[in-house]
Amino acid sequence: MSAIDTATGHRLASVKEACRYGKFSHTKCYELINAGRIKAKKFDARTLIDLDSIDAMYAALPDLVPNPGAKS
């Protein structure tokens, strides 16, 4: 159940949905939260992930520089 927090405009999703969206595991999701690479909110017992922070994390990754001498 993805939601948009109208107060902040953030797109929020459950951990399961965020893992599907970001293409990483449940464990990796919590590693990214603990490392401060993605943002999470608590709503009662639920953890909601800010999908914009996943987009920002991927956008900040360095580009792969091809190695011309490498074999395919």
Give the tens place of pLDDT for each residue, 14-59.
999 999 999 999 999 999 999 999 999 999 999 999 999 999 999 9
Q: Identify each DSSP E strand in 1-72 by its residue range.
A: 3-4, 11-14, 40-43, 46-50
CATH no., domain 3-59: 1.10.10
Q: Hey, which residues does 11 pair with through a beta bridge?
A: 4
Q: Spell out the domain ranges in the chain.
A: 3-59
| Rounded Cα–Cα distance for residues 18 and 39 (Å) | 11
Residue 5 scores a pLDDT above 70 = no
Per-residue pLDDT, 67: 87
Per-residue pLDDT, 68: 86
Give the tens place of pLDDT for each residue, 40-50.
999 999 999 99
